[in-house]
Structure 1
Amino acid sequence: MSVIGIAAFLAVLYLISYFMNWAHYEGDEAKINGFGWMTLEDSANGNSFASNIFALAGLLVIITLGWGVVKLLWSDSPEEGVRDILIAGGIAVAYALFAFMFKMAIGAFITDGKADQVEQCRKDAKSLGASSTVVRDLCGSYQTPFTDPQSGAGPVLCLLAGLVTLMLGAVLAVTAPQAREKLGSFGVTIPDAVPIVNLGGAFTSGDQLFAAATGSSSASEASGATMKVPAPDPRAVLGAVSEFWSWWGTMSGRVTGVVENDPTRAEGETMDTIALQISERVHAIHPRLEWSFGPGGDESRHRLTVSAAGIRTLQPTAARWYAAAPAADGTWSFRTLRPATIEPFICDGVSYDPAQMVYSSQNMRLGVELKIWDPRWKGSASAALGSLFRKPQGAQGSQGTPDSGQLRPSTVAAARLINRVLGEETAAGWVNEYKAVGSDPRDSRPARSLPNETGYYTGKYREAIASGGFADLNIPDPDKLPRVAHIRLPLASVIAPTCDVHVLIEAQPHGTDTVNAGFSPAEAAEKLFRSAESVVEKNGGKLVVYTTHQFRPEAHFYLDGASDSLDDVVNQIKSLAGSWKLGTAAVKVHSDAAWDQVGYFRWALGA
């Protein structure tokens, strides 16, 4: 709820209460005294502490607070419960402060018949020469908001209730990881913890992780596919990538000796020393990248993978590492997107088995939104408060499992599950949003069924995906006007891995000019878009969406931000738009490694 919404509510309530005062008749049993505080006439003339009853605003706060508690305790979205508790506290505090500041302004105009009688009595008594004591005893007194200091009890109670509610919400927000994930909407950032990774142990042929760059402590990040890490400077990435491959060129023989347990070729290196050297160089590209050794399949005996680990803003970074990799030989091959597997995995020192995890899903237009749950994850208020007194999630007992008996939901573990079960390419292309929840979501299914969710889309758009062409979807614009969107699928950076600069052309065809030229407005705009596409594709970019619209057709391109020709390509597009004779066109350029600028086409409800 915005500040504007709260202010509007208070303003309406203020007017209602004012007119209730203005319309009341002398002798009424009850009245509202200007700000929603109900005053009973027969209770110490409305001045007692208890008589200032929390009326309309109190009811709103109580409802909001109660709904938040229900969500926190019994829903699969406890973070939304914490948010509602914080909103309730904020409303109460804002309401009280508003009352303190402005109560007197209207109160000065609110009196009743008794006040007029007292004033007339005083004038008459003074005209007869009566003393002040006699006047007071004879005429009595009346109270207004200016002379009634106890009438502030209601706002004081409201302020105290609001502060206590905010404190409760803050405690839950800091201690519950699923609440921490939502704090970005309040402008709050909680720093990540630093993971501790064991670099020891012998090499295995599976997808064993040796890097210190796990990025496994992102509890403060937004949930799911919206996990955001600032994208690095593309040109700086190229420098670090070049240094990595220069090192690899001199060390690959020793790395082979280590993984094949050949001391002669290893030349004194061990798995620990090699892991530290690789980690150092991968960190230099970006500290949140992950790397791993594994079998090379048909290409080679071994494979080195450097992955963005599902963080969309880092996918172009990992892609630049892969683009500079040498060709596969019989010994080593390379990749940046890990394939699907249902093997167990470890996250923050905790072992997870995909066979024990479940999910629920909601279909979006071009992808799914997922809720992930592990039976050990608890999201109740007691679990959140209890985390203050428990060891961190990574603490382990003798069996390698947390000794707390209860785990907090982990967004990173949910991400790892999705990326492993689907494979990173499929997850990046078709999972729009995900979050870890603290209770079994409604209509849950086994995690091994996740491929069925994305398979719906890959089956539905099989021809467009296979051809690399466009799928045509009827997608209304933000003003609900009809338009057709022509979209390359999947609408994610996996179809243009190093492209992280978004270029938008917004066209406005001139109806008369296009008709005279023998085109419809849509055809005229498409000619402009196709001309720009030919320039973009020659320089490694891609047209990913263009729309057919009567008034505002648009086209979305992505370019390689590290390309030496980037500025020249952008200038050519601007020149084409400026010289377009069938209407006017504007060009906008954004850095967009996560492809957020085209997210609208993916995320709207409805498959």
Structure 2
Amino acid sequence: MFGRSKRKAGDNAAIVDFWTWWPTVRADVEAAISSGEWATLSEQFSRRVEDIHPGLEWEFYRGTVARHSLVVSAAGVAELRPVVARWGALAPPPDATWEFHTARQPDPEVLGGSIGIGEGVQLDLAQLRFAFTRDESSPEIAVIAYHPGFRMLGEDARRSVTFLALDWLLGEDGVEEWIGEIAWVTEPPEGAAEPAELGAAVEALREEYRTPQWILLHGEGAGGPIIATVQRPLRPVRWPRFDTHVAITLPYREQNPAGLPEAESLAALREFEDTALSTAAGADGVLLAHETSGGARILHYYVDADSPAADDLAEAAGWWKDGRARVERHFDPAFERIRHFR
């Protein structure tokens, strides 16, 4: 059973209300899953999920460890990830019957079956193939989906089948974290392979980045050279709670002719980042990039808007002694303000 919310958003109290209500309907849901008789239950679930936030999707599915799972998903909408993260944080611990997820989990066995599209069209998912490539400088894989039946489908249906198949193969979070450009074609693409090969490629990439990596980037701006250090993979799904961008600009006095920091200023920048700012961010924020040029370093933090981390960072920035720090903050759950680093 599944549904999608449509009404006006509620607040965090609706999440608490949901988990207070859940034990009162748990047995009814288990009975409905067995019998298929949902009566008013689906309407109740839609209403409860809608009270949390519009646009959320919910679904009952078989569990990965427990017998059943309840998924409340942001459906790929970055602005909704912090909402489902808060919902998931208050979920009860899993037991033999129930587990709870904030994204659809991988279920590659589904790709051995078929799916109905419109009236009278059944696609044998075992015929689905993926061609995929990876730019070695980027931790993401570009994918082209192909199925012989795509010739019978419209563009929207091809897109729907492609994204459903990727979700079944990799899980929603796996697609968000590791898949870049996605396309679908009606003729076999070069390098088309069975889905398991794409799954293995994603697993290899995940293993490569098991420990996040920092890379050094060089560029040229109007004021001279720019040096940036960036954490990768730089995907917001990795930090679903952190929806607010806090940019801290620290000017420095001691610099070379190119405007880059030297000696004491360089050491002070490093120490300030590692001590005052790191402490201020705590467990509710993360530094994802910093860029240095023209006598200033900009540190890009992302924090949980429901925490004091943004205020704490702003206060800590005021302790900088090598010039007057500047702090800007913006709601940015999709990480648009650091997209140029990807």
Q: Does 1:546 align with 2:315?
A: no
Of residues 277, 282, 286, the one that matches 1:537 is: 282
**Alignment partners' CA distance in 2, 1:554 and 1:351:** 54
1:524 aligned residue: 268
Give me the TM-score of the superposition, normalised by structure 1. Answer: 0.48
Partner of 1:588: 328
1:586 to 1:375, Cα distance in 2 relative to 1, 3 A: farther
Query: Hey, what does 2:306 align to over in structure 1?
Result: 562
Deviation at 1:288, TM superposition (A): 3.0
Q: Structure 1: which amino acid aligns with 2:253?
A: H
Matched, 1:358 2:130: yes
For residue 281 of structure 2, what is the amino acid of its counterpart? Answer: V
Aligned to 1:305: 71
- Choose the corresponding residue for 1:331, options 84, 97, 102: 97
**In 2, Cα distance between equivalents of 1:597 and 1:371:** 28
TM-score scaled by structure 2?
0.80
CA contact (8 A) 1:347 1:413 kept: no
How far the C-alpha of 1:367 sits from its partner, in A, is 1.7
Q: Which residue of 2 aligns with 1:407?
A: 154
Q: Structure 2: which 5+ residue stretches go unaligned?
A: 257-261
CA apart distance, 1:346: 4.6
Do the aligned partners of 1:303 and 1:333 also contact (CA within 8 Å) in 2?
Answer: yes
SS at match of 1:459: helix
**Paired position in structure 2 for 1:340:** 106
Aligned to 2:236: 493
Instruction: Find the partner of 2:50 among 283, 291, 295.
Output: 283
Tell me: CA distance 1:485–1:250, structure 2 relative to 1, closer, same or farther (3 Å). Answer: same
1:340 is paired with a residue whose SS is coil
2:218 and 2:187 map into 1 onto residues whose CA distance is: 36
Q: What are the within-5 Å matches in structure 2 for residues 80-479 of structure 1?
A: 210-213=1-4, 236-261=10-35, 270-298=37-65, 300-342=66-108, 343-344=110-111, 346=115, 349=118, 352=123, 353=125, 355-363=127-135, 365-378=138-151, 405-408=152-155, 410-462=158-210, 464-465=211-212, 471-477=213-219, 479=221
Distance 1:314 1:441, change over 3 A: farther
Supply the distance in 2 between the matched residues of 1:354 and 1:555 (Cα, whole angstroms).
Answer: 48
The DSSP-based 3-state class of the residue aligned with 2:21 is helix
Deviations along 1:432-488, whole A, 9 cap, x unmatched?
3323445444444333322244344323333x24xxxxx22122246394635141x
Counterparts of 1:508 and 1:274 in 2: how far apart (Å)? 58
Residue 592 of structure 1 aligns with an amino acid whose one-letter code is D
Long gaps (5+) in structure 1: 1-209, 216-231, 262-268, 379-404, 466-470, 603-607
Once residues 305 and 194 of structure 2 are traced to their aligned partners in structure 1, the CA distance between those partners, rounded to angstroms, is: 40
Task: Please give the root-mean-square deviation of Cα atoms over the aligned residues, in Å.
Answer: 3.3
Instruction: Work out whether residues 209 and 233 of structure 2, in 8 Å CA contact, stay in contact via their aligned partners in 1.
Output: no
Q: Aligned AA for 1:578?
A: G
Asked if structure 2 preserves the Cα contact closer than 8 Å seen for 1:422 and 1:450, the reply is no
Tell me which amino acid in the other structure corresponds to 1:295. R
Q: Deviations over 1:10-36 (max 9, x none)?
A: xxxxxxxxxxxxxxxxxxxxxxxxxxx
- Alpha-carbon distance between aligned partners in 1 of 2:303 and 2:104, rounded to the nearest angstrom: 24
- Which amino acid is 1:420 matched to? W
Share of identical aligned residues, percent? 26
1:598 corresponds to 2:338: yes
Aligned residues: 326
1:511 Cα deviation from its structure 2 partner: 0.8
- Residue type of the alignment partner of 1:366: P
Q: Secondary structure at the match of 2:59?
A: strand
SS at match of 1:472: strand
Tell whether 2:247 aligns with 1:504: yes
- Say which structure is richer in helix: 1
- For 1:419 and 1:243, the matched residues in 2 are separated by 29
- Cα distance in 1 for residues equivalent to 2:326 and 2:56: 37
Change (3 A) 1:355 1:585: farther
Q: Which is greater in Rg?
A: 1
SS in 1 for 2:197: helix
Matched residues in 1 for 2:134 and 2:186: separation?
Answer: 18
More strand by share: 2
Change (3 A) 1:442 1:552: farther
CA contact (8 A) 1:354 1:448 kept: no
**Is the contact between residue 507 and residue 553 of structure 1 (CA under 8 Å) also seen in structure 2?**
yes
